[in-house]
Amino acid sequence: MGKYKKLSNPEKFIIISIPLLFLFGSMFHFLYELSGDSGIVGLFAAVNESVWEHSKMIVLPVFLFWVIYYIAKGKKYSIDKNKWFTSALVSLITALIAMPMIFYFYTEAFGVEFLVVDIIILFLVLMFGQLLGLHFYKHSKGIKWQAAVFAMILIIIVFMIFTYYPPHIPLFLDTPSGTYGI
């Protein structure tokens, strides 16, 4: 319990953000359909049931959390840009790698798929990402913030491109419809 009292306000908010990101990310599952299948919304929200598209529930919410928090509180808490945005990149990449790893492990190892487990996976990968991001924020010097932000924007662009031009491999397959992308 004493360890948590030693966390700075930004560090505490990284932990607090986990359930908030989960709720915000969950909305990205339904946003495309609610938009009337808008192609613009589809660039950022899941357009089908593929693992790749479900990873969109991570990308923009995590990116926006770190960027908005820095803009809102960076000066107030003297947040080091290099450490902050390196941590953001670590959080994003961790969650994006963990999502298919956990999903494929449980579906292939046990031969089942359950909505409840899929929901838990989203929460877990966001938690893993944020906690590893927190660790990097506390213990690393970080890379140049511009490189970290560039890498995150590149990830977002790749997700946008693969929405319209997905490779025809299982990661991108919408199993219920047998289609890929939008």
Boundaries of domain holding 79: 7-172
Residue 53 lies in a domain: yes
For the cut 70, the answer to whether the pLDDT of residue 35 exceeds it is: yes
CA nearest neighbour of 176 among 33, 30, 45, 49: 49
Q: How many domains does the chain have?
A: 1
Residue 25 lies in a domain: yes
Residue type for position 62: V
Residue 179 lies in a domain: no
For the cut 80, the answer to whether the pLDDT of residue 33 exceeds it is: yes
Burial of 176 (0-12, 13-18, 19+ CB in 10 A): exposed
Residue 1 lies in a domain: no
- Give the pLDDT band of residue 108 (cuts 50, 70, 90): confident
Q: What is the pLDDT of residue 7?
A: 85
Residue 71 lies in a domain: yes
Residue 73 lies in a domain: yes
Residue 180 lies in a domain: no
Q: What is the pLDDT of residue 2?
A: 54
- Give the pLDDT band of residue 115 (cuts 50, 70, 90): confident
Q: What is the pLDDT of residue 94?
A: 98
φ/ψ (deg, to 5) at 174: -85, 95
Q: How large is the average pLDDT for residues 1-18? A: 83
Residue 104 lies in a domain: yes
